[in-house]
Structure 1
Amino acid sequence: MWDAVAERLRAAGDRAIGVTLAGVGDRADEGDADLEQHVADIIAAARGQENVVLVGHSYAGLPVTAAAARVPVRRVIYVDSGPLPDGTRQLDMGPPPESTGPVPPRDWDPVADPDLLRGLDAEALALLEKRATTHPYASVAQPLRRGGSLNPPAGLIACTFSLEQITAMRAAGHPFFASVGDDVRISELPTGHWPMLSEPAKLADLLRA
């Protein structure tokens, strides 16, 4: 999913490593991985690297938050996500799953879901439908526990929320953005929830900035 962004980052001189978490994608056969396993996956990818910038999109904001609290990194960037507080579960972010089995992918219907799927052409939608896999139930049910005290600088790239919406939600104490302090740089990239497919060039530029 991140190839188009990673290629641009590499062309600009950065090293970009895409991390596939246990239990999804081509690691789907690794069982019901929990959130802590996903934190460990990210830490393993960061270990031994220099000047690490962790990028977490959507659900990945949870394991990225915990990983950044445990191992030294230069910066954390949340893409349509945020530094959610301890105790947060992905399970609580939307309608509950119908069972405790693997969580199925969404329906990739832009008519039924115009906001999240905004900006995706037919090719991108077909790619999502082809490559989407179930998500381990344990990972969405386990609460976030940072388990560390490191606090690297953070940035937020907002795609489906405007800056005005984020400001209002912060003021209301909404958990999505309650932990976003004044020191967090917020950049807007108006598109749907998959900017790595709908706006890869702009996303790569924002990540470098």
Structure 2
Amino acid sequence: MTNFILVPGMWLGGWAWDAVAARLRAAGHDVTALTLDLSAGATLDTHIEQVTSAVADAGDVVLVGHSYGGLPVRGAADRVPQRVARVIYVDSGPLPDGVSQADVSPPGTVEGELIPPPSFDPADDPVQFAGLDGMTAWIRARAVPHPMASAESPLKLHSADQPPTDLVCTTFAAQVVHGMIDEGHPFFSGLDRRDYRVHELPTGHWAMFSRPDDLAAMLHELVS
């Protein structure tokens, strides 16, 4: 049995993990799916504190961060490393100290202090939104704008050390990810290369929607 803490990316809440969480619980794991504070003005530190508090309540945990969720997961693992057994990044990666989400993925549109959700429509981006056919309206009805302050906040780390790390790549092939790591790409330039693994789960960026069974099975396998 593993204590999983699942952290969503931008625009989403803990509800995004419902299908994955149900399958993990059925396999005997404890699962907490966090909803980050997405109010205007919330920063990356706000989100790191949320994840850190969840880790303190759960004890020895496996942190799973999707997309932007990889930043607060990395920050929490840095603050309470003794409580984190493993970190799993889903179509994300451990950014280095001093880098923000906006540095590596600038938002296309900003409305005041908030970044509005994308369309989630495969017709608009068949790569990023792959597998979301028939789910676009359902996701759009629940997605909320994301605070720009958190996207602009740089990650502040105390150490380059990390727990054992898995990268689940969904929009890039594993071979491409290895090449990006070797080239020092910002997505992975903060990776502690002493203990990491790369895994493929081909789909769009939101695997918790497009392939929840397979993502849950992979998370289970990675901790077994």
> Would you say same fold, with TM above 0.5?
yes
Q: Does 1:163 align with 2:174?
A: yes
Residue 13 of structure 1 aligns with an amino acid whose one-letter code is G
- Per-residue CA shift, 1:12-44, capped at 9, x if unaligned? 110110100012xxxxxx441000000000011
Aligned-partner Cα distance in 2 for 1:154–1:79: 11
Contiguous gaps of at least 5 residues in structure 1: 24-29
Change (3 A) 1:147 1:100: farther
Contact 1:66–1:147, Cα closer than 8 Å, also in 2 = no
- Per-residue CA shift, 1:22-69, capped at 9, x if unaligned? 12xxxxxx4410000000000111113233000000001011001001
Question: Displacement of 1:161 after TM fit?
Answer: 0.9
Question: Displacement of 1:109 after TM fit?
Answer: 2.3
Larger relative contact order (C-alpha < 8 A, sep ≥ 6)? Answer: 1
Q: Does 1:77 align with 2:56?
A: no
Count, aligned residues:
202
Question: Displacement of 1:167 after TM fit?
Answer: 1.6
Question: Displacement of 1:128 after TM fit?
Answer: 1.3
Contiguous gaps of at least 5 residues in structure 2: 1-15
**CA root-mean-square deviation:** 1.6
Under a length normalisation based on structure 1, what TM-score does the superposition of the two structures give? 0.91
Deviates more, 1:139-148 or 1:195-204: 139-148
Under a length normalisation based on structure 2, what TM-score does the superposition of the two structures give? 0.85
Contact 2:97–2:190, Cα closer than 8 Å, also in 1 = no
Q: 1:37 aligns with which of 46, 65, 78?
A: 46
Question: Displacement of 1:129 after TM fit?
Answer: 0.8
4+ long deviations beyond 6 Å? none
Question: Displacement of 1:94 after TM fit?
Answer: 2.9
Q: Does 1:57 align with 2:69?
A: no
Q: Normalized per residue, which structure has more strand?
A: 2
- Counterpart of 2:154 in structure 1 is 143
Aligned-partner Cα distance in 1 for 2:99–2:111: 20
Question: Displacement of 1:149 after TM fit?
Answer: 6.5
State the identity as a percent.
47
Q: Does 1:19 align with 2:13?
A: no
Question: Displacement of 1:100 after TM fit?
Answer: 5.0
